[in-house]
Amino acid sequence: MDEQTKILYQKISIYCGPIFVTTFVFFWAWLGHNLPPPHPDWPAQMFTDRYVNNLAEIRLGFLVCLVTICLYLPWTGYVTSRMMRIETGHYPVLSYLQLMGGALTVMVVSISMWCWVVAAQRPERAPEITQMLTDAGWLMNDTVYMCTTLQMFAMALCFLADKKGRTPVMPNWACYVTIFCGATFFPASLTAVLRSGPFAYDGLIGFWIPYPAWLIWMFIASYYLLGDLKRRAGEVEEKVVAVPASS
């Protein structure tokens, strides 16, 4: 593979991140009627009504998002290889942690949407079952976040220790924002216990902070990864031009 092609695939991999976020907001949040999320303390019938009244939109939203969530994979792949350039040697533990965290994040978010796709497949069933599937989907996201948190922590710690380049991949503040965004997931565990108020799965601390934090982090990280790629691509071109001239 020549250098230009490699750079092209790397660039596509980074762009997969923001494209995923955009599709997530449109299909998962808007078409999937998750903005605002259903209220966990609703009577069961209201969960059924929510599916029946918006059936086509909810089905389309989650089915498309189940495909586009996998755009998270090439992004994670690029981040892993970029981290390995910093964490050189035979033991790139942070890079591997980030890789596993990113891959498992796709599974966690997929399983959550899979619950809602199942709920929407046969919405005429007993409302309690639809309610349970909806709850199960939310609690999958809100209690099984640690893979994503570790992915973010590993990435931040690696980029914070980046002493190789003249310019680090991400500036110091963006690394700490990454740690903060990862930490905002912790209070979401409370969604398993509390069904109303700010800590429930439709609440301020249960939904409105951690979900946007995750998506905004992805935009910030992608922005700096692209800048870093542009710098590296420039260096590659310099080398390609310089080598025949010197020989």
Partner 1 sequence: MSADIEFVPTPMAPRVSRRLPGVEGVWVFVFADMAVFALMFGCFMWDRHLQPESFEVSRRALDLTMGGVNTLILLTSSMLVVLAIDALKYAENALAPVFLGLATLCGLAFIVNKAFEYREKFEAGIGLQTNDFFMYYFIMTGMHLGHVVVGTVILAALALKARSSRAGGSIVAYEGGATYWHMVDLLWVCLFPLLYLVR
Q: Site residues (CB under 8 A) for partner 1?
A: 160, 171-177, 179-180, 183-184, 186-187, 190, 193-194, 197-199, 204-205, 209
CB 225 within 8 A of CB 62: no
27 or 199: CB nearest partner 1: 199
50 or 162: CB nearest partner 1: 162
Q: How far is the CB of 194 from partner 1 (least distance, A)?
A: 7
27 or 153: CB nearest partner 1: 153
19 or 157: CB nearest partner 1: 157
Q: How far is the CB of 150 from partner 1 (least distance, A)?
A: 16
Q: How far is the CB of 79 from partner 1 (least distance, A)?
A: 19
Query: Per the structure block, which two tokens stand in for 206?
Result: 């249960």
Q: How far is the CB of 162 from partner 1 (least distance, A)?
A: 13
187 or 227: CB nearest partner 1: 187
108 or 200: CB nearest partner 1: 200
Q: How far is the CB of 90 from partner 1 (least distance, A)?
A: 26
Q: How far is the CB of 171 from partner 1 (least distance, A)?
A: 8
**Cα–Cα nearest to 24, from 40, 12, 35:** 35
27: burial class by Cβ within 10 Å (0-12, 13-18, 19+)?
A: buried
CB 143 within 8 A of CB 188: yes
91-98, Cβ contacts within 8 angstroms, sequence gap of 24 or more: 94/154, 94/155, 94/157, 94/158, 95/154, 95/158, 97/150, 97/151, 97/154, 98/150, 98/151, 98/154, 98/155, 98/158
From the CB of residue 112, how many other CB atoms can be counted at a distance below 10 Å? 20
Amino acid occupying residue 76: T
